[in-house]
Structure 1
Amino acid sequence: MQTKPKAGFTLVELLVVIAIIGVLVGLLLPAVQAAREAARRMSCSNNVKQLGLAVHNYHAAYKQLPKLMTGTYGPGNFVIAATGHNRLGLSAMVGMLPFFEQQALWESISNPLDADGNPATTNDVWPPMGGTPLMNASHHAVNTYQPWLTEVPAMRCPSDPGVGLPAAARSNYAFCTGDSAYLSNWGALRDNGVNNFATLSRAAQRGMFIGRKTMRFRDVLDGLANTICMGEITTDLGDEDVRTRAKRSTLTKSDSGQGIRLAGGALSCESFKDPERPQFWASGTGVGNSEQRRGYKWASGRPLYAQINTILPPNREICIDQNYHGNSLIAPPSSRHQGGVHVLMGDGAVKFVTDSIEAGNSNSAQVYEGSSVKPGSKSPFGLWGKLGTRAANETIDEDF
């Protein structure tokens, strides 16, 4: 009597099926990763769009743009006294808070704040608008003022993996000050017969935002659709990334160390790059301590934390004037997305600008009073520079 052979897979057939499945999984994983990054990029674009709506709603409410490097000021270098101030050092993001659903955080900032809720202790009582978000030996408000330590999801790009300490509270979005770094750390502070910052910054700072100066949509004569309002920045991961840790320029100048405005200034940190890994500095000798890095203090209006300029194209190195993290610097936008960054145009449109955008002559001097590139001149930094200026009378006739 014959018996039927049992149906089943042979060992060879099983191994072939396993091999095919392995190949398919190997092909599928990059596609899954790409799909995830596409979703993160879309989420980031939505964040930028929401910030754009906040800017427009702010302008509709107050007839001006949110002010960059604003706040309170008074005599002396306060620390944590009830009579303290923030030295006009706040980011425009602070004033925008109620316009992107952060009313509760705004209320804690705009009202006096007792850190421990105990009226018997007076050394932790903060005035409205709090203290300076900067942190060094004499200004350590960020250590104890809770609002400056509060991270807001709407300010974070999902593609950026940076989290937690040593940052105070991270942000991935910053404000455009134009195609010159000169006086971006001071802005239009005052004209006092000695430091005529208001006059000089008016000539050099040609973006939608000027530190410590009230700006309006009507100031954007080139058209809101042709002018960058905000852009992305990456937050530092402690890895000597040239986009997130500043190096000191090899050029110096006696007047507040504004050497980076000179011819060659924008590229004056290139020699510090690791020749084998040009996305990183060759050695750990950057400016500032572990807490003074790009994207680490959303509440500070200083260039390192809250500003971009259109001098070097996206994802290039940041180069600072002096060994102080509050100084002016070459500040390109940057992102963790492949090949470029999101920027917010003045009309609220969100654009993705590639790293290869035409950026003119990076060795050129920048625009400032007394420069070979006179105030009112066309931007020396090509299409990229044009997009950063608000009133240079330049037509945008190229796609980007």
Structure 2
Amino acid sequence: MNRSQQSRTGFTLVELLVVIAIIGVLVGLLLPAVQAAREAARRMSCSNNFKQIGLGIHNYHSAYKQMPIQKSGTGLSMGAGNWWDGSNVTNQGQLSWLVGLTPFIEQQALWEQISNPNGYELVGGVQQLRTPPWPAMGPKPENTAYIPAMTEVPSFRCPSDPGTGLPAMGRTNYGCCLGDSFSKAEAGARNAQLVVNNGDAEWTRAGQRGAFVVHQKMAFRDILDGLSNTIIAGEMNTDLGDRDITTTATYNKNDATTGVKAVPSVCRTDGSVDPLRPRFWGPTTPTFTADRGANTGRGYRWMSGEHIYTAMMTILPPNTTLCYQGDWPGQEGIVPPSSRHQGGCHVLMGDGAIKFVTDSIEAGDQNRKMVEFNNVAPAPVPGAASPYGLWGSLGTRANKEVIQEEL
């Protein structure tokens, strides 16, 4: 038998290299598809979580004839003259809308920890007994020793957002909608002592046009534009410590003619954004997380009613700049929705539907002043159509604007 008639028992080196090369090409072709499938699954899970929140709001409304309140709670403590003062004996009326939802999204155990005196605290990350116990409804929701405030609720998180752990407290990826203006979004009709002030109430009626108004009971009957035409909540990224324009805010944009209230797009056009990396702030741009504490990032405190943590607005379109008029996270600023999904974010409509809104949604004139009580024409006066187009009109609850597009 000659050599050509002998059976072959293995591969040659060239054949092995060819097979390896083919496998490498196939993996390279399949990997993006696998990654896309994983993100599609995460996006669906995120939508399902938001749907659960929407059902929770409707069940809450069925029980109490109102939606949960943004900035509610046990009022001011004795000796604490203003709502922004810290307190261990009251929450200073600063609880977010998400707190009241907990028993309606299968978080009854967490609600019982919050709604009853709580005899445990975190010290150095270790749970210990506390004497005296925390009061019912907890301290002001900025205290890192209060265990419920440090708890991450799975239903409040989007799986596409990788943020976790310190320096955040319990994170959330969902915020209530405050409408198309931040005028009086900080305190609504109440003054520093949480007492209703007639002048502040007048400003609040003019500027706070969203489904939620801080410190105020709001119900479905207040949404005159129709539940299916009104955004009541939106998605948001949480901060990763990377100076992302959607997760930490720049501030002090308070000039009367060129500041953020007069020109909402100012933070995108005044050099604050890094021109080489347009998703991040420039190296010299001031930010809250750099200057006001690492725990002031977007979505960092699920129990806090401050809008940087648990709210959104329909002024700038999704995935644009967090831009503040004041110099502190508790003051007024623009907080657009955002997400880690490609091209847009989820919003929750009043009827419970979840819609995906793209970054390119028609958003009117981003260089036009927002609606405010003291505006004089041609600036948009109280009751005017939203200057921010379809996007702005979706965020107003009773402005009688016709929605002619299906999201």
TM-score by length of 1: 0.91
**2:177–2:395 CA contact under 8 A, matched in 1:** yes
Q: Post-superposition shift, 1:182?
A: 1.1
Q: 2:353 — aligned with what?
A: 349
Q: 1:197 — aligned with what?
A: 200
1:327 and 1:93 map into 2 onto residues whose CA distance is 20
Q: 1:154 — aligned with what?
A: 155
- Local SS of the residue matching 2:280: strand
2:345 and 2:406 map into 1 onto residues whose CA distance is 15
1:184 and 1:213 map into 2 onto residues whose CA distance is 11
2:51 and 2:293 map into 1 onto residues whose CA distance is 33
Q: Read off the aligned partner of 2:182 and give its amino acid letter.
A: A
1:94 aligned residue (87, 92, 99): 99
List runs of 5+ in structure 1 lacking aligned partners: 135-141
**1:250–1:269 CA contact under 8 A, matched in 2:** no
**1:182–1:201 CA contact under 8 A, matched in 2:** yes
The percent of aligned pairs where both chains have the same amino acid is 53
1:233 and 1:76 map into 2 onto residues whose CA distance is 36
1:243 matched to 2:246? yes
Shift in alpha-carbon separation, 1:157–1:71, aligned structure 2, 3 A: same
Counting matched residue pairs gives 384
* Stretch of structure 1 that moved more, 340-349 or 110-119: 110-119
Q: Read off the aligned partner of 2:93 and give its amino acid letter.
A: L
* Stretch of structure 1 that moved more, 60-69 or 12-21: 12-21
1:346 and 1:193 map into 2 onto residues whose CA distance is 27
Q: 1:297 — aligned with what?
A: 301
Correspondences of 1:126-205 after superposition (within 5 Å) = 126-134=134-142, 142-189=143-190, 196-205=199-208
1:369 and 1:250 map into 2 onto residues whose CA distance is 20
1:344 and 1:216 map into 2 onto residues whose CA distance is 16
Q: Read off the aligned partner of 1:155 and give its amino acid letter.
A: F
Q: Read off the aligned partner of 1:365 and give its amino acid letter.
A: K
Q: Post-superposition shift, 1:259?
A: 5.1
Q: 1:138 — aligned with what?
A: none
1:17 and 1:267 map into 2 onto residues whose CA distance is 56
**2:254–2:261 CA contact under 8 A, matched in 1:** no
2:224 aligned residue (198, 221, 225): 221
**1:361–1:380 CA contact under 8 A, matched in 2:** yes
**1:166-198 deviation per Cα after TM superposition (whole angstroms, max 9, x unaligned):** 001111000001000111111232597977222
Q: 1:379 — aligned with what?
A: 386
**2:176–2:312 CA contact under 8 A, matched in 1:** yes
1:43 and 1:127 map into 2 onto residues whose CA distance is 35
1:10 aligned residue (1, 9, 12): 12
**1:119-164 deviation per Cα after TM superposition (whole angstroms, max 9, x unaligned):** 8x33xx2211111113xxxxxxx12111111111111100001010
- Local SS of the residue matching 1:248: coil
1:276 matched to 2:279? no
- Local SS of the residue matching 1:188: coil
1:152 and 1:101 map into 2 onto residues whose CA distance is 10
1:335 aligned residue (330, 334, 339): 339
Q: Read off the aligned partner of 1:168 and give its amino acid letter.
A: M
Q: Read off the aligned partner of 2:156 and give its amino acid letter.
A: M
**1:241-287 deviation per Cα after TM superposition (whole angstroms, max 9, x unaligned):** 0101110143246xxxx95322x144246421101001101126212
